[in-house]
């Protein structure tokens, strides 16, 4: 390589390596999907670094309040939720073009191992080669950056950012608060199937979630989308649970990670949004008996194969409601 000039072969948006075909005038970054114009002329290393530093500076883009994690800078926009070990914010890169992320800021240093566990599991899942990985890796939190906050009110705290997925504003906990008597059982069908699809992918990837709880299940506004968050307890099946959410302690069938426990918890979460009480296995009389029976059986006995349970849910749905139809959850105004 020359000492004074070099060609720019990394994405200025995210830093990923670029490999433009010969004679190409532009290239699309495979990581962040930015379109980068390829300049055939040589660029001075010093001038490039100076321009990059200016472009990456929040002040250049009018930001006067931001936090830094390594060489990335983030402006927090609003508080989203208080998790078991961290506070969650909507944030954006403090430059243009920007990107939205969910920013998790650790509250107490002693919880750092759980923080690291969550990042490690999600980073591993992005490299999964299990069937359906191309789709399902976009449906679990996608890591962007982690590290110590270097400035601002959270200076010195551990933080990590995940790609923002628009439309997911409600958890099962919020749904139950909005519908204390329970949601329409027909809506619960697609909800449970989406959860089981995600669990099947996790299990095929060698990961048990360990905390399939109402605050960790997100519902897409006006669509049939479900996302599963809260991976601080996740890990290899057979390992002991690293943490338990005290508010939903009755949802845990065991203190060990396993596919069976994940599936069992999914049924208890469905019973919960259907209006169930007690040990999360009671199902209201308004739920058709074939569906109620399946929920009760899985909530008590669990099942190792999440995809098989998904198929059972589909069979029950066809007997009760006929061919699949569109029934999104509509939250009250």
Give pLDDT tens digits for 119-166: 999 999 999 999 999 999 999 999 999 999 999 889 999 999 999 998
Q: Measure the CA–CA gap between 202 and 83, rounded to whole angstroms.
A: 22
CATH code 3.30.200.20 for 61-163: yes
The pair of three-digit structure tokens given for residue 291, joined into one six-digit string: 């569906």
Task: Give the pLDDT band (50/70/90) at residue 280.
Answer: low
Given a cut of 80, whether residue 41 has pLDDT beyond it is: no
Residues 283 and 264: beta-carbon distance below 8 Å: no
pLDDT digits (tens, 9 = 90+) for 299-321: 998 888 999 999 999 999 999 99
Helix, strand, coil shares of the chain, percent, nearest 5, are 35, 20, 45
Q: Measure the CA–CA gap between 222 and 9, rounded to whole angstroms.
A: 41
Given a cut of 70, whether residue 281 has pLDDT beyond it is: no
Residues 310 and 196: beta-carbon distance below 8 Å: yes
pLDDT digits (tens, 9 = 90+) for 49-104: 888 899 999 999 999 999 999 999 999 999 999 888 999 999 999 999 999 999 99
Q: Measure the CA–CA gap between 15 and 9, rounded to whole angstroms.
A: 9
User: Is the omega angle on the peptide bond into residue 97 within 30 degrees of 0, that is, cis?
Assistant: yes
**What's the chain's average pLDDT?**
90
pLDDT value of position 33: 83
Q: Measure the CA–CA gap between 86 and 230, rounded to whole angstroms.
A: 11
Q: Torsion over CA of 184, 279, 250 and 300, rounded to 10 degrees?
A: -90
Task: Kindly report the pTM of this predicted structure.
Answer: 0.84
Domain spans, the chain: 5-55, 61-163, 168-321
Q: What beta strand segments (E) does 83-214 contain?
A: 86-93, 100-106, 143-148, 158-163, 168-171
Q: 258 — alpha (psi -120 to 50), left (phi > 0) or beta?
A: beta
pLDDT value of position 232: 95
pLDDT value of position 143: 96
pLDDT value of position 43: 59
> HSE (CB half, 13 Å, CA atoms) of 297?
10
pLDDT digits (tens, 9 = 90+) for 158-198: 999 999 998 998 999 999 999 999 999 999 999 999 999 99
Which of the two residues, 234 and 24, has the higher pLDDT score? 234
Give me the percent of the chain exceeding a pLDDT of 90: 73
pLDDT value of position 40: 62
Given a cut of 60, whether residue 4 has pLDDT beyond it is: no
The pair of three-digit structure tokens given for residue 78, joined into one six-digit string: 């609003």
Q: Measure the CA–CA gap between 146 and 104, rounded to whole angstroms.
A: 9
Superfamily of domain 168-321: Transferase(Phosphotransferase) domain 1 (1.10.510.10)
Given a cut of 60, whether residue 297 has pLDDT beyond it is: yes
Write down the residue that tokens 């949601």 correspond to: 183
Q: Region 228-242: what's the mean pLDDT?
A: 96
């Amino acid at each position: 390589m020359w000492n004074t000039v070099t060609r720019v072969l990394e994405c200025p948006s995210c830093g990923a390596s670029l490999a433009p075909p010969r004679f190409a005038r532009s290239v699309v970054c495979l990581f962040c999907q930015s379109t980068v114009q390829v300049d055939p002329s040589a660029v001075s290393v010093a001038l490039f670094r100076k321009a990059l530093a200016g472009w990456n500076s929040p002040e250049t883009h009018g930001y006067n309040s931001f936090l830094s994690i390594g060489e990335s800078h983030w402006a927090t926009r609003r508080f989203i939720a208080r998790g078991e070990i961290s506070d969650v914010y909507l944030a954006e890169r403090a430059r243009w073009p920007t990107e939205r992320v969910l920013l998790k800021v650790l509250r107490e240093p002693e919880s750092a191992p759980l923080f690291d566990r969550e990042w490690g599991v999600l980073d591993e899942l992005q490299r999964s080669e299990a069937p359906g990985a191309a789709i399902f890796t976009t449906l679990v939190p996608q890591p962007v950056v982690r590290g110590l906050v270097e400035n601002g009110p959270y200076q010195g705290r551990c933080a990590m950012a995940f790609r923002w997925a628009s439309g997911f504003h409600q958890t099962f906990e919020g749904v139950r608060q909005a519908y204390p008597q329970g949601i329409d059982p027909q809506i619960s069908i697609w909800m449970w199937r989406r959860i089981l699809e995600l669990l099947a992918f996790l299990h095929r990837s060698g990961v048990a979630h360990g905390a399939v709880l109402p605050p960790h299940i997100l519902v897409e506004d006006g669509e049939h989308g479900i996302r599963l968050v809260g991976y601080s307890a996740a890990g290899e099946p057979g390992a002991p649970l690293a943490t338990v959410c005290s508010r939903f302690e009755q949802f845990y069938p065991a203190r060990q990670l396993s596919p069976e426990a994940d599936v069992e918890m999914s049924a208890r979460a469905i019973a919960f949004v259907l209006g169930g009480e007690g040990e999360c296995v009671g199902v209201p009389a308004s739920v058709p008996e074939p569906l109620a029976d399946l929920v009760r059986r899985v909530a008590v006995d669990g099942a190792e194969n999440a995809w098989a349970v998904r198929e059972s849910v589909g069979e029950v749905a066809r007997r009760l409601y006929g061919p699949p139809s569109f029934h999104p959850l509509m939250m009250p105004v």
